[in-house]
Amino acid sequence: MIVGVQWGDEGKGKVVDLLAERADAVVRFQGGNNAGHTIIRDGETFKFHLIPSGILYPGKTCVIGNGVVIDPKVLTEEIDGLRARGVDTSGLRISANAHLIMPYHLLLDHAGETRLGKLQIGTTRRGIGPCYADKAARLGIRVQDLLDEKILKKKITAALEPKRLSLRPFAKDPSLDLHTMTEEYLTYGHRLEQYIADTTSLVWDLLDNRRTVIFEGAQGTLLDIDHGTYPFVTSSNPVSGAATVGAGVGPKDIDEVWGVAKAYVTRVGAGPFPTELDDELGEQIRQRGGEFGTTTGRARRTGWIDLVALRYAARINTLTALAITKLDVLSGFDRLHVCTSYRGEEGAEFHAFPYHQSVLHHARPQYEELPGWSEDIGEARTESDLPQAARDYLRFVSEFVGVPIVLAGVGPGREQIVWTRAGEQSLAAPAAA
């Protein structure tokens, strides 16, 4: 299992891509096209929002699990785009139980943010929240409903009924016309039918036959609707436990949980961010790290690594390993700061991630300073290729969080990875089993 352990955008796609080569299947279990993974393969850039990036390996089983919310327009465009570039999509499987993002979810996401004004969450406006809300309210439209015109129409009518008031400003929007919407979604149904499957039993079969399955998380732990910085969160659970629900497996099916974290921190959208650097240094990190969203193009907020939050994420996900990405972005800074506790408004020191929203909003980071390095590390492939200060930085993070680091990313390319000894051992283990 690969999960993000900050506020998303940690570089999970690259780690999944590396492991997918050795796996039989890749499964997404939550989120939707609010996610965006960028993969650079042989100089070509691929951007994924819904389809697991493992699709770049011909014939690999790539599952969109029941816990994902699917915008079928985006999904069909993604399939078409891949096929136009010669990518074989025959390994794609879509859960019949996954919920669909409907045109009214997009409108409601926009309207909700506008209504919140200054208090807005800064959602990706992809309709994610309203879709999960309908799922919980049992008014959702699922993938399987695309295959039956009568049922589809009935369910759309039932879903629209309680929204009449909030949708009134969009009364003239053609996308809300029942007939048009039904026709459009039936067309998606025809397009997607060949991929629709009972993905839960498909994953059971793989696991029962001792195949290697990768569960690919989207977003990150601090955006989790239960355990993140509520209400500045997404509407699903990006923590590792959610894979059981969102893909239909049991906790004991998961052997390893790798958390992906950047060597620093970024956040898009609003909400508390104790180590944020709202200054020249933050801008430098943004530029060097190319910190602009894959999905929305928004500039990401940047800051020093937050080990209080990372230790919290390690516990909540029961991480067995950490993958640290973008270590190269820190090259050239004289001193590096790592946050090891917070100071509250009234002076109290917090060593654990505060559960209370007001405390977190006022938390001031307490830093330890570590020496930086000036060398370009883009060519490093083993730990011994790294400058001593970079190795010390990684060791500090690993010891503080209490989780071994398996790899460090040293550049955007697929090969720009330093596998640590722990990483090599971990890779060897499943192959030997």
Which residue numbers are catalytic?
Answer: 9, 37
Between residues 329 and 336, which has the closer beta carbon with respect to ligand IMP?
A: 329
Q: Given candidates 23, 35, 329, 417, which one binds ligand IMP under the rule CB under 6 A?
A: 35
Contact pick of 33, 61, 124, 325 for ligand IMP (by CB under 6 A): 124
Whole-number Å distance between alpha carbons of 114 and 112: 5
What distance in Å separates the CA atoms of residue 31 and residue 239, rounded to the nearest whole number? 11
Q: How far is the CB of 325 from ligand IMP (least distance, A)?
A: 14
The alpha helices in 137-171, defined as continuous H runs, are 149-160
- Among 6, 61, 123, 416, which residue interacts with ligand IMP (rule: CB under 6 A)? 123
Q: Determine, following the binding rule CB under 6 A, whether residue 5 of this chain makes contact with ligand IMP.
A: no
Phi, then psi, of 337 in degrees rounded to 5: -105, 135
Q: Candidates 6, 66, 219, 302: give the one binding ligand IMP (CB under 6 A).
A: 219
Question: Interaction with ligand IMP in 8-27: which residues (CB under 6 A)?
Answer: 8-9
Task: Please state the closest distance from residue 50 (CB atom) to ligand IMP, in A.
Answer: 12
Alpha-carbon distances, residue 348 vs 345, 354, 355 (angstroms): 7, 11, 14
- Integer Cα distance of 175 and 168 in angstroms: 13
Please tell me the distance from the alpha carbon of residue 140 to that of residue 147, in angstroms, as a whole number: 15
CA distance 411 to 326: 6
Stretch near ligand IMP under the rule CB under 6 A, chosen from 16-24, 98-106, 218-226, 421-429: 218-226
Residue 128 in contact with ligand IMP, rule: CB under 6 A: yes
Scanning 34-42, 245-253, 274-282, 365-373 for contacts with ligand IMP by CB under 6 A, the matching segment is: 34-42
One residue of 28, 60, 99, 126 binding ligand IMP per CB under 6 A: 126
Name residue 276's beta-bridge partners: 303
Tallying the residues shown for the chain, one arrives at: 433
Q: Rule CB under 6 A: is residue 302 a binding residue for ligand IMP?
A: no
**Site track for ligand IMP across 357-386, x = CB under 6 A:** ------------------------------
| DSSP class per residue in 354-390 | -SSHHHHHH-EEEEEEEE---S--TT--SGGGS-HHH
Q: CA-to-CA distance for 307 and 415, rounded, in angstroms?
A: 27
**What is the four-CA torsion angle of 274, 279, 282, 286, rounded to 10 degrees?**
130
- How far apart CA 87 and CA 79 sit, in angstroms, is 9
The per-residue DSSP string of 400-412 comes to HHT--EEEEE-SS
User: What sign does the CA torsion over 219, 31, 173, 168 have?
Assistant: negative
Size of the site for ligand IMP (CB under 6 A): 21
Handedness of CA 71, 233, 220, 299 (dihedral sign): positive
Closest approach, Cβ 127 to ligand IMP, in A, equals 8
How near is the Cβ of 34 to ligand IMP at its closest, in Å? Answer: 4
What residues numbered 253-272 form the site for ligand IMP, per CB under 6 A?
A: 268-269
Region near ligand IMP per CB under 6 A, out of 186-194, 217-225, 371-379, 400-408: 217-225
Minimal distance in Å, beta carbon 361 to ligand IMP?
15
**Residue 78 one-letter amino acid:** E
Q: Which residue has the tokens 């992906």?
A: 260
- CB neighbours of 413 closer than 8 A, spacing ≥ 6? 40
Contact status: 235 vs ligand IMP (CB under 6 A): yes
Shortest Å distance, C-beta 311 to ligand IMP: 21
By CB under 6 A, residue 122 contacts ligand IMP: yes
Is 199 near ligand IMP (CB under 6 A)? Answer: no
> Max alpha carbon distance in the chain (Å)?
66
- What string marks each residue from 62 to 101 as x (binds ligand IMP by CB under 6 A) or -? ----------------------------------------
Tell me how far, at minimum, the Cβ of 135 lies from ligand IMP, in Å.
14
Residue closer to ligand IMP (CB basis): 128 or 406: 128
Please identify which residue in 51, 64, 107, 121 interacts with ligand IMP, judged by CB under 6 A: 121
Q: Is 234 in the site for ligand IMP (CB under 6 A)?
A: yes
Distance CA 301, CA 281 (A): 11
Report the interface residues with ligand IMP, using CB under 6 A. Answer: 7-9, 34-36, 121-124, 126, 128-129, 218-219, 223, 232, 234-235, 268-269
